[in-house]
Structure 1
Amino acid sequence: MTPPARTERHPVRIVHLGLGAFHRAHQAWYTQRANDASSDGASGDGGWGIAAFTGRSPRAAEALAAQDAVYTLVERGPESDTATLIQSLTVVADGADGERWRAAMADPAVAVVTLTVTEAGYRPDAAALDADLAALRAGGAAATAPGRLVDGLRARRAAGSPRLAIVSCDNLPDNGAVTREAVLGLAARVDQDLAAWIDGEISFVSTMVDRITPATTDADRATVEQLTGFDDAAPVVTEPFSEWVLSGEFPAGRPAWDAVGAQFVSDVEPFERRKLWLLNAGHSLLAYLGLLRGHTTIAEAMADPACADALEALWSEARTELPFDEEAVDAALAALRDRFTNARIEHRLAQIATDGSQKLGPRILDPLRSRLDAGRAPGVAQAGAIAAWIRHLLGGAYRDPGAEALAARLGELSDDEDLATEAMRALAPGVTGLEPVIALIRDQLGALRATTTILTTEPQRGAH
């Protein structure tokens, strides 16, 4: 069999960090469509190509490099699949290759840098940042996302290259500001003049991104071969739905993403809030509760009335806090129900459940705090999501480095109120007046104890 063949190659004008499935289903897909819409250089610029670097493991780059960075994107609807060849990745590389990374970032033709490094990638621990600081001072390669950005921007400054935009595409409120703070904080420790240059020359764009993209399986690769005839080692399977909302300046230009559905707005925060408090919060609830009830995918959890009812309650608690009219929220929820019940998208609960200590704050605690600030009672379903997360940690089958110390402490406790108190101390350190929330979590822990079983390993596919 043959891999997918390249028929077009665009000049590199975008650098991306975090070469995972989501980037290839979202930003790379939007860029492909923007290039197609402009008829490959009808505007005279040759289109927009991406130099994509891995964030941690080099495996994705190795697989893609073997097929000239071309891959198949499969949009999996409730009834059928549609395959599209994506050629917007011009080159792919290991993010740990510091020399190649610096050269790409210094290239004066590059106008945009995008990131998909997960929520945890923006807040590495002190030891990792200290290691990056030592490496940067010695001229070596950084390992964290902030470190790599500082390293690349230092090279760009040295080369005299023009301004550019850095665009975060991860699920963080005001992710552009979070990126800016992380980069400037580390840059100031490396070189105050570099930090001042970044502050004056680099634009940090905030975005809201949305497209469910499960991990690719061997069965998916077989499907791609049937659809296309290509032996694609690195396809991506995603849902038909996509959304991208951006806010910020692009001083050196950008692809015509708005021509293919992206929205450019003055303030992305309301859209971030809607997505985090409805889709992402719903995912977290279904992940922790669904795993406790023996499910493996979002669609399986949605078919369980206990999970579906809890989700509807969670959405009712969040919708009062959103700055959209009833019609807009109803439309968003109707779309989510359709997406969550698409059983052909096997979005695994164990994947969603990772790094809950980073995710629950913006997804669950923020709308809960909004209710308290408005004089409303904390949500029972919101408390239930936290209680299910606690039970998930107690099982030991979690993937969350940021929760390891908490999980150890929880394992020493048996009283539900003590468990709730300890978890809230970790999730909301220094926040007072949470007694009503702790009481609700305590009650929800008791209810879960009576109706679910703590799992110490991930359930097998299809288990209930």
Structure 2
Amino acid sequence: MRVVHLGLGAFHRAHQAWYTQRANDASDGEGWGIAAFTGRSPRAAEVLSAQDAVYTLVERGPGGDLAGVIQTVTSVADGGDVDRWRGAMADPAVAVLTLTVTEAGYRPPSGDLDADLERLRSGAGAFTAPGRIVDGLRARRNAGAGPLAVVSCDNLPHNGAVTSDAVSGLARRLDPALAAWIDAEISFVSTMVDRITPATTDADRETVLRLTGVDDAAPVVTEPFSEWVLSGAFPAGRPGWEAGGAQFVDDVEPFERRKLWLLNAGHSLLAYLGLLRGHATVAEAMADEQCSTALEALWQEARTELPFDDAAVDAALAALRDRFTNARIEHRLAQIATDGSQKLGPRILDPARSRLHAGREPGAAQAGVIAAWILHLLGDRSADPGAEALTARLRQHPDDDAALAAETVAELAPSGDLGSLPDLVREQLGALRATTTFLTTESLRGAH
């Protein structure tokens, strides 16, 4: 049996491919292979194909490195290779399609979806993730290859439902009969995934050569910790991912909230505040008292909204402190800071809404993340296509904290349901300008 994966990158190779390797190692029967396709760039496929898609995974703990070989990726290809993509998706031996296309991949601009719709109508390949999935499912239906499970592995709440909505919506516009087939034959599984996986560096490749004697051009370095919680049906079967510790539950939503509101929200705080204070990695930011104090305050604001008892939350936070202070995992803040316009809603605004619904005000630390993001957008290191229009507007009045706060919160939450959050963001902007002394209005203006 086979898995098809869209979004070949380091996280997939450290997480889903690793779990599948563990499943195969524990199985007495035939193992599962992964046909992996790239998302935005074909580069990963080019590098991996040169070494038969076999690569080294290094688990980097505080005390040392442990290297292992991952052999479950059996083929790699450019996601833009239409014939190979359709052929893989039409294979009746394929039972699962997994996805790591980033948060933004599920909600591409409407113009991109419109363009994909025209390409699909003409028989050409699609560019967006929803478009490629629809194209692949159409090929599967036409081949009579049967049902499968689509499994999102990105940091989105209700990611299975988000995937279903994106795919079914585009399919209905293309062919209502195809949409009906998808509704009847395809399941959409929701998951919570967790494993910190920084971008691989030349130093990592040198480490692998020293540890193994293998000149691996595409190793993956990750932390020892890993978690995967899944909820949904697998109508054509699946690997025995339990062998790697995966959990199958009736409702993944509480686990999503715990991860988004503690780990991911914490990462966003450390990224935006840490970059403003001149840090490069999560561990560096954790060593800065201003960053770590703000992080603890953010966690206290979120913990009251989680459906877990105090002991469970305390254990989760203790694990996060250990993981975030592991200086041997160089998790780059600039990598975490990308696409804040997509990430801050589920990570920061949703727990703030939960506080409001419970009769509490949004927290000052939650507002502080938004304030730090505003200053990040005003600087010269922002990588967020979804915030380009907002950034242009903010740069028209970089000194007016009230306007910056109001405009940003309105952009992130057009419904206007966040109570006093804009006022708190304004206050936090003033505090950040006062405490982050090297960040001046002149430097912000001079960035562009």
> TM-score band, normalised by the shorter chain?
over 0.9
Q: Are 2:367 and 1:407 aligned?
A: no
1:14 counterpart SS class: strand
2:431 counterpart SS class: helix
Counterpart in the other structure of 1:419: 404
1:90 to 74, 85, 89: 74
For this pair of structures, how many residues does the alignment match? 440
Paired letter, 1:320? T
In structure 1, the gaps of 5 or more residues are 1-11, 458-464
In structure 1, C-alpha distance between the alignment counterparts of 2:277 and 2:430, rounded to whole Å: 15
Counterpart in the other structure of 1:462: none
Q: How far apart are 1:65 and its partner, in Å?
A: 0.1
Counterpart in the other structure of 2:20: 31
In structure 1, C-alpha distance between the alignment counterparts of 2:210 and 2:23, rounded to whole Å: 27
- CA RMSD in angstroms comes to 1.0
2:2 counterpart SS class: strand
Contact in 2 for aligned 1:395/1:454 (Cα 8 Å)? no
Counterpart in the other structure of 1:183: 167
In structure 2, C-alpha distance between the alignment counterparts of 1:299 and 1:147, rounded to whole Å: 38
2:255 to 271, 286, 306: 271
My pick for the range that moved more, 124-133 or 204-213, is 124-133
Paired letter, 1:51? A
In structure 2, C-alpha distance between the alignment counterparts of 1:303 and 1:396, rounded to whole Å: 24
In structure 2, C-alpha distance between the alignment counterparts of 1:174 and 1:151, rounded to whole Å: 23
Q: Are 2:415 and 1:437 aligned?
A: no
In structure 2, C-alpha distance between the alignment counterparts of 1:431 and 1:439, rounded to whole Å: 13
The CA deviation string for residues 121-180 of structure 1, in whole angstroms up to 9 with x for no partner, is 000001110111011000001001000000000000000011100000000000000000
Q: How does 1:247-286 map to 2 (within 5 A)?
A: 247-286=231-270
In structure 2, the gaps of 5 or more residues are none
Q: How far apart are 1:454 and its partner, in Å?
A: 3.8
Counterpart in the other structure of 2:10: 21
The CA deviation string for residues 342-395 of structure 1, in whole angstroms up to 9 with x for no partner, is 000000000000000000000000000100110012101000000000000011
Q: How does 1:4-153 map to 2 (within 5 A)?
A: 13-38=2-27, 42-43=28-29, 46-153=30-137
Paired letter, 2:231? S
Q: How does 1:152-231 map to 2 (within 5 A)?
A: 152-231=136-215
2:354 to 370, 377, 381: 370
Q: CA 1:433/1:117 → structure 2, altered by over 3 Å: closer, same or farther?
A: closer
- Where has structure 1 moved over 4 Å in runs of 4 or more? none
Contact in 1 for aligned 2:19/2:243 (Cα 8 Å)? no
My pick for the range that moved more, 234-243 or 252-261, is 252-261
Q: Are 2:278 and 1:289 aligned?
A: no
In structure 1, C-alpha distance between the alignment counterparts of 2:325 and 2:192, rounded to whole Å: 23
Counterpart in the other structure of 2:222: 238
Q: How far apart are 1:430 and its partner, in Å?
A: 2.0
Q: How far apart are 1:433 and its partner, in Å?
A: 5.4
Paired letter, 2:9? G
Contact in 2 for aligned 1:214/1:238 (Cα 8 Å)? yes
Paired letter, 1:123? R
TM-score (norm 2): 0.97
1:68 counterpart SS class: coil
Contact in 2 for aligned 1:74/1:237 (Cα 8 Å)? yes
My pick for the range that moved more, 412-421 or 63-72, is 412-421
In structure 2, C-alpha distance between the alignment counterparts of 1:311 and 1:189, rounded to whole Å: 44
Q: How far apart are 1:260 and its partner, in Å?
A: 2.0
Counterpart in the other structure of 1:341: 325
The CA deviation string for residues 91-132 of structure 1, in whole angstroms up to 9 with x for no partner, is 000000011000000000000000000000000001110111
1:208 counterpart SS class: strand
TM-score (norm 1): 0.94
Paired letter, 2:270? L
Paired letter, 2:204? D
Contact in 1 for aligned 2:298/2:365 (Cα 8 Å)? yes
2:337 to 353, 364, 381: 353
1:111 counterpart SS class: strand
Contact in 2 for aligned 1:394/1:454 (Cα 8 Å)? no
In structure 2, C-alpha distance between the alignment counterparts of 1:374 and 1:423, rounded to whole Å: 24
Q: How far apart are 1:340 and its partner, in Å?
A: 0.1
In structure 2, C-alpha distance between the alignment counterparts of 1:257 and 1:230, rounded to whole Å: 28
Q: How far apart are 1:397 and its partner, in Å?
A: 1.6
In structure 2, C-alpha distance between the alignment counterparts of 1:287 and 1:211, rounded to whole Å: 17
1:316 to 295, 300, 306: 300
In structure 1, C-alpha distance between the alignment counterparts of 2:11 and 2:426, rounded to whole Å: 36
In structure 2, C-alpha distance between the alignment counterparts of 1:70 and 1:110, rounded to whole Å: 20
